[in-house]
Amino acid sequence: MRLAAAELVDQREILPGQWLQSYHAPSLTAGVRAGQFVHVRTGDYAGLLLRRPFSFNTVDAATGILTIHFRTIGGGTEWLTRLRPGESVDMLGPLGKPFEVDRRSRHVLLIAGGLGMAGVRLLADEALRAGRQIVMLFGAATARDVYPSSLLPDEVEYVVATDDGSMGHHGHVTDLVPDYEAWADQAFACGPFPMLRALASLAAGRRARLGVASLGRKRGAGRTHATGSPEARRKAFLQVSMEQNMGCAVGACLGCVVMTVAGTPQRVCREGPIFAAEEIAWEAGW
C-alpha cells in the first residue's frame, strides 16, 4: 500500500453522468491486480469529505497511468470532475484482494451490471495477456447506459442486455448466463447486490445442471480452504466483487463487513472486495 499524489492526465464523460479519468501515478501502478482499488481523497473545497474507493479500471505500469470509472453522485465524485489536467489528488493503494484465475481456466466469463464494469474491466486485460478467451456480459437499464464497446479490447466478445430492450437482450444480464455456463471455466462479476445474489444462486446449481467434471473435481479438490483465502477464490467457479460503504478502507473501522456462510464476518476492504460467491451469506442482506 502506497500513498501518492496522482496527477490528472485526461478525463471524459463516457456515458451520461459517468466519467473516465486517467491519472499518472507510477508508484501505484506497480504490481496492481484486477479487483484491487484505490482510496481517493476527494474534496468539496472545504475538505470535509471522506476518501472514496475506486476500482482500478485499467493500469499501464509501463507509463504509470491508471484509470478510474465513476458516476457523479454529488459530493466527492462531482468534485473530481472539476479537476483540470495537471492537478493532483491524494491516492492510497493498491488496496484489497484481487480476483484469482485458476491457471487451468481458458474460458473466462465476465459479468457486469452498470458501473460494475469498473470492477471487472482490468481483468479483461489480464486474462487476454494470459492467452484466455473472454466473454463479457453487460447489463444496463437502457441503451444510453451501455458501456461503449470501443473501450474494450477487440478480442472480448461483448454481449449486452437492457431492461427496456433498447439494445441487445430484453431483460436482465443474469438471463444470459445459462448460455455460457458450459463454455466458461470460471466467472467473475461486479454489480448491484441483487445481480450478484442471483448469479451466486445460478452458480450453485451449475454443476448439477451440467453434470460434467469441473475444476473442483480435479486434483486437490477435496481440500477445504480458509474463508477469504486466495485458494478459496481460485477454486470457485464464481468470484464476486462486493461493494460496501467504506470508511477507513484499511481494516480499522469495521464499517464494511459482510457475513459469510461460515459465520465469520469479513471486511470488504481487507479480506475483499473479491470473494468466492459460495462464501457469502447472501440471505443476510445488509
Shortest CA distance to 246 belongs to which of 47, 5, 42, 60? 42
Q: Which is nearer to ligand FES, 92 or 152 (CB)?
A: 92
Query: Which residue is associated with the grid cell 484486477?
Result: 34
Q: Which is nearer to ligand FES, 23 or 37 (CB)?
A: 37
Cα atoms found within 13 Å of the Cα of residue 235, Cβ hemisphere only:
19
Shortest CA distance to 243 belongs to which of 40, 3, 53, 42? 53
Q: Which is nearer to ligand FES, 226 or 253 (CB)?
A: 253
The reply on whether position 61 binds ligand FES by CB under 6 A is no
**Distance separating alpha carbons of residues 215 and 234, to the nearest angstrom:** 10
Residues in region 143-162 near ligand FES by CB under 6 A: none
Instruction: Figure out which of the listed residues 252, 261, 262, 284 binds ligand FES, where binding follows CB under 6 A.
Output: 252
The reply on whether position 1 binds ligand FES by CB under 6 A is no
The reply on whether position 253 binds ligand FES by CB under 6 A is yes
**Distance separating alpha carbons of residues 26 and 81, to the nearest angstrom:** 21
Instruction: Figure out which of the listed residues 83, 255, 259, 265 binds ligand FES, where binding follows CB under 6 A.
Output: 255
At 268, which amino acid appears? V
Contact 108, 186 (CB under 8 A): yes
Q: Which is nearer to ligand FES, 248 or 259 (CB)?
A: 248
Cα distances (Å, whole numbers) of residue 50 to 75, 181, 266: 10, 40, 22
Stretch that binds ligand FES, among 158-166, 183-191, 197-205, 241-249 (CB under 6 A): 241-249
**Distance separating alpha carbons of residues 132 and 106, to the nearest angstrom:** 5
Instruction: Figure out which of the listed residues 31, 148, 205, 251 binds ligand FES, where binding follows CB under 6 A.
Output: 251
Stretch that binds ligand FES, among 30-38, 95-103, 168-176, 251-259 (CB under 6 A): 251-259
Instruction: Figure out which of the listed residues 80, 198, 267, 271 binds ligand FES, where binding follows CB under 6 A.
Output: 267
DSSP strand pairing (88-95 vs 2-15): antiparallel
**Distance separating alpha carbons of residues 124 and 212, to the nearest angstrom:** 26
User: Least distance from C-beta 79 to ligand FES, angstroms?
Assistant: 20
The reply on whether position 249 binds ligand FES by CB under 6 A is yes
The reply on whether position 226 binds ligand FES by CB under 6 A is no
User: Least distance from C-beta 85 to ligand FES, angstroms?
Assistant: 30
| Cα end-to-end span (Å), the chain | 28
Q: Which residues bind ligand FES (CB under 6 A)?
A: 246-249, 251-256, 267, 269
